[in-house]
Amino acid sequence: MGMDRLENHNSVLVVIDVQNDFCSPDGLMAKAGKDVSRAVGMIPRLQAVIAGAHAAGIPAVFVRTTHSDGTTSEPWRYRSGKKETAPNCVTGSWGAEFFSISPGTDDYVATKHRYSALTSPEFQEVLARLERSSLLFCGVATNICVETTLRDAVCADYFATLIEDCSAAYSERLHIAALENIRESFGLITNAETVLERWHTLTGLGA
């Protein structure tokens, strides 16, 4: 992959929707019958990448979803053809809290109400302030919010890279399909080991 996308002066780590309702065995998705084991399993790698970004001086943006009556339109409520009866990540709820990760004091947090983080004015403001062109994506779900944000980032003229083993879907089939789609048309695919090795080289850490 193009190593320039991992340069610590030009990249941003974007962590999407790693929240209790989406990832925890006690969250709403698990209670609805979704398999969250992949989300749980990728957490140690994600934690290592977040720590690596901090060590390399790379900004990290933690994106979270929240929903409330004020942010839920009729088209959104009926987006799948049937009325949504139990919204996830309700504002202020345990389900909306981050799962097994915590933003550091120098990290950024942006809230969104739709699949794409590019619909969030907070997220757009952070990117404008950072003035970096390479976005490194991870989080859940690979085929929904992660892929949608990555596509929108490409359309907004950012270089987009997915850290695939720090991302998870609710089935391996959906995860792989998203990887194939991204690889074909939207961005590059890498993994945690490659990212961390490159950051170690750039900073002289772990040498």
**C-alpha span between 128 and 126 (Å, rounded):** 5
Predicted confidence at residue 3, as pLDDT, reads 56
**Please, are residues 168 and 41 in contact by the beta-carbon 8 Å criterion?**
yes
Predicted confidence at residue 2, as pLDDT, reads 54
Tokens 């794409």 sit on residue: 116
Tokens for 27, please give them. 């969250």
Query: Within 10 A of 205 (CB to CB), how many other CB atoms are there?
Result: 12
In tens digits, the chain (207 residues) has pLDDT values of: 455 899 989 999 999 999 999 999 999 999 999 999 999 999 999 999 999 999 999 999 999 999 988 888 878 788 878 777 778 999 999 999 999 999 999 999 999 999 999 999 999 999 999 999 999 999 999 999 999 999 999 999 999 999 999 999 999 999 999 999 999 999 999 999 999 999 998 887 544
Write down the H helix ranges in 36-190.
Answer: 37-56, 74-77, 121-130, 147-155, 172-185
Query: Within 10 A of 168 (CB to CB), how many other CB atoms are there?
Result: 30
Predicted confidence at residue 207, as pLDDT, reads 40
**C-alpha span between 74 and 72 (Å, rounded):** 7
**Please, are residues 133 and 159 in contact by the beta-carbon 8 Å criterion?**
yes
**Please, are residues 144 and 112 in contact by the beta-carbon 8 Å criterion?**
no
Helix (H) or strand (E) holding 86: none
CA distances from 22 to 28, 164, 184 (A): 7, 17, 27
- pTM, entire model: 0.94
**Please, are residues 183 and 175 in contact by the beta-carbon 8 Å criterion?**
no
**Nearest to 98, CA basis, from 47, 134, 144:** 47
